[in-house]
A and B are shown apart, each in its own frame.
Chain A
Amino acid sequence: MTPALVGLSHRTAPVEVRERLAFPGDEAAHALSGLHDAGVEQVVLLTTCNRTELYFESGEEETFARAVDFLERAAGALPEPLPNYLYRHSGDSVALHLFRVVSGLDSMVPGEAEVQGQVREAYQRAAGSDPAMTGAVLNRLFQTALSVGGRVRSETAIGEGSASVASVAVELARKIFGDLRDRRVLVLGAGETAERMVASLGREGVQGVMVANRTYDRAVDLAERLHGRAVRMEEITRALADADIVLTSTSAPHFLVTASNLTAAYPAGVTSPLLMVDIAIPRDIDPELGGVADVFLYNVDDLQRILDESLDRRRVAAVDAESLIAREVEGFALWHRSLAVVPAIRALREHGERVRAREVARLIERMPHLSGADRDAVEAFSRRLLNQLLHEPTARLRRAAEEGRGEEALAAVRHWGEGHDLA
């Protein structure tokens, strides 16, 4: 059995095509049963916002055709025929592809971690369905992939540093405050980026969110979504005194937070570290405030520069990740090649077991005086002897298969088997 895959990703298909083949939530399980009904019985469906891929236990042409047919029906009318967006792999290159995917090397942001969970989910969905839609090859492929993903993340720097402007802000907040649970955030402007940043901070446990906006109603809307409270623009000085983190993203043509605001908020000077992130253009916070000792002020260029450095480090780490993956692909390929001799090994063992059982039965028949314990000892001895005799040929068969001489070894076994009752 040779593993195979067919799929599309952000590298081959635009978003309007990818979204037609996304199977969010329960739809993935329905799609799996649809594939089963279409005659594709052993398959894993990996679906993320950037890719949809089908991994098969065995890649016969007929399986490909059925899978593509299924995808075409699911996608409906597309700007171009579906095959134009698809790629397909079979054999060892399937392992290489999946190991790169699970490690985040094929993602838009190199090293992103979410895909590891998505691969695990896809595998568990297929393996856990009734009947299970994974066989020995897919099980081994995905279990190895998940382990490779974990190793790549722990043994290389691919997942280190920030992967988005929002995560840079979170990283900065973490390095200043450590635990963010009791921290308060003041958001100026109800823009989408600010909302994403606050959502990221919220995942870190930030609780007290205050939102101020030129249009008070929009501030109320955003505050409700973020479980915070709205603040009127005239009150921002007072809110500033309560905040540990200030995020600004308004379209105001002038500075909204100046030295005078800060002095009014902290008449005795800043008494605890204050993180200010200004992603507005033109800027909302007077850059002079960056000179205040315990104010950590970052503008959009600072964040972008930090992000670029972080992504550069990830790209460098990707080289280490690729070599780790290459070793793992080799390991998988060896295992896969050794599968070719599994039936022969099984037949050899079954033959040996038949001979052993027959000869032991004959012996015991000829020696009726043996006690039960003696008979057990003879049984155990014969099993040990058989295992020892078969150990070397079994190992040699596996090794030959791993070295690509599986056919040669199988021919030898078949030749030997002609003189015996080898199944």
Chain B
Amino acid sequence: MIHLFALLLYNAAFLLWLRTLLGGGRGRDAPPAWATAAGVAAHVVAFSAYAAEFRELPLVGLGPSLSMLALLVTIGLLGAVVVREGERVGIVLLPLAIILQAIALAVGIRPSGTDPDFQGGWFILHAGLGLAGVVGIALAGASGGLYLAQFRELKARRMGRLFYFLPPLATLDRLGRVGSHVGFVFLTVSLALGWAWTVRFRGTFGQEDVEMWWGLFSWLAVLTAILTRAARGGTPERRAALANSVAFLLVVAGYVVLRVTAHPEAGFL
């Protein structure tokens, strides 16, 4: 029930942004930001109840993981408030969080009954950092997409509602840079921890684990996006914006492909 309430608040925040966008692009940033914050608070309460009831963190199983990812996406969005008009990337990140939370609610946010190995501190760090890394990539991808949209408005010499709604190019570039670096660092640590764990306790490199391949693929995607900034041709900002949005789309596409093709017993999220 509280999860549903959080979903409703995320929807309300998104609708407020949408109203601002359709109403000419200008408007107060506080109401949607507060609605998001209220959604995050409700979500945290829901997870606290989950942890108290099931004595485990919501990191294992499809429902809990997707819901946790939705929570981290909205927390990342609240973090964007620190830069000028940064919270407006919510126009992309809130629908993502809404979809994740809706799927989580549809499949059920309950323990998967998996191996107790997946409940230790080691695993919590690995999974938590992995999800946070994906959030970093999502933030970078959303900022990159909006950068390209604002760039297009400016080149087209029009000051429509999108122009007024979208944050400055410099803000979007900064968010993209922070997102991709956070994504890279967290994913690196998460992958290293996951590998160390499988080598130590299972005696393998985890090559049979589909999640490991997705994690590695995501890590390479974000690394490429970061390196693209340093390449030649055009401004680094625009190059990075394009690379970040492509990296995010690849990470999502990789997940969908693996999810669809993985054997049901592989237990892929």
Contacts and interface: CB of A to CB of B under 8 A. Distances in A.
Interface of A: 154, 157, 160-162, 168, 171-172, 174-179, 268-273, 293-294, 296, 298, 302, 305-306, 309-310, 313
Interface of B, secondary structure class, is: loop
Given A294-B235, A310-B159, A157 B84 contact: no
B26 A157 contact: yes
Interface string B154-189: 110111000110111111001000000000000000
B237 interface: yes
23 contacts: A157-B26, A160-B26, A171-B159, A175-B150, A176-B168, A176-B169, A177-B170, A178-B84, A178-B169, A178-B171, A269-B234, A271-B235, A271-B236, A273-B235, A293-B234, A293-B238, A294-B234, A296-B154, A296-B155, A298-B157, A302-B157, A309-B159, A310-B159
Nearest 4 interchain pairs by C-beta? A178-B170, A178-B168, A294-B235, A160-B26
Contacts of A161: 26, 159, 164
A129 B158 CA distance: 49
Interface string B208-222: 000000000000000
A157 B154 contact: no
A240 to B, nearest CB: 16
Contact of B154 (A160, A175, A269, A271): A175
Nearest to A157: B24
A177 B168 contact: yes
Contact of B235 (A162, A172, A270, A309): A270
Nearest to B25: A160
B235 A272 contact: yes
Interface residues of B, number: 27
B232 interface: yes
Nearest to A301: B157
Interface of B: 23-24, 26, 28, 84, 150, 154-155, 157-159, 163-164, 166-171, 174, 232-238
B92 to A, nearest CB: 18
Given A154-B28, A271-B236, A306-B158, 10 more contacts: A157-B24, A157-B26, A168-B159, A175-B169, A176-B154, A176-B168, A178-B169, A272-B235, A273-B169, A298-B157
Contacts of B164: 160-161
B212 to A, nearest CB: 39
Contacts of A171: 159
A321 B166 CA distance: 25
- Most A Cβ at <10 Å: residue of B159, B171, B233: B159
A329 B159 CA distance: 34
A268 B232 CA distance: 9
B81 to A, nearest CB: 15
A330 to B, nearest CB: 26
A176 to B, nearest CB: 5
A158 to B, nearest CB: 11
A299 to B, nearest CB: 9
Contacts of A176: 154, 168-170
Contacts of B235: 270-273, 293-294
Contacts of A302: 157
Given A157-B23, A177-B170, A273-B169, A306 B157 contact: yes
Contacts of B28: 154
B159 A177 contact: no
B236 to A, nearest CB: 7
Contacts of A269: 233-234
A179 B238 CA distance: 18
Contacts of A179: 84, 170
Nearest to A306: B159
A312 B158 CA distance: 14
A30 B55 CA distance: 77
B252 to A, nearest CB: 27
Nearest to B24: A157
Contacts of A310: 159
Nearest to A171: B159
Contacts of B167: 178
Contact of A294 (B150, B166, B171, B238): B238
A296 B167 CA distance: 17
Contacts of A313: 24
B24 to A, nearest CB: 5
A393 to B, nearest CB: 43
A178 B51 CA distance: 42
A106 to B, nearest CB: 23
Nearest to B28: A154
B159 A272 contact: no
B195 to A, nearest CB: 38
Contacts of B237: 272-273
A178 B163 CA distance: 13
B235 to A, nearest CB: 4
A171 B238 CA distance: 20
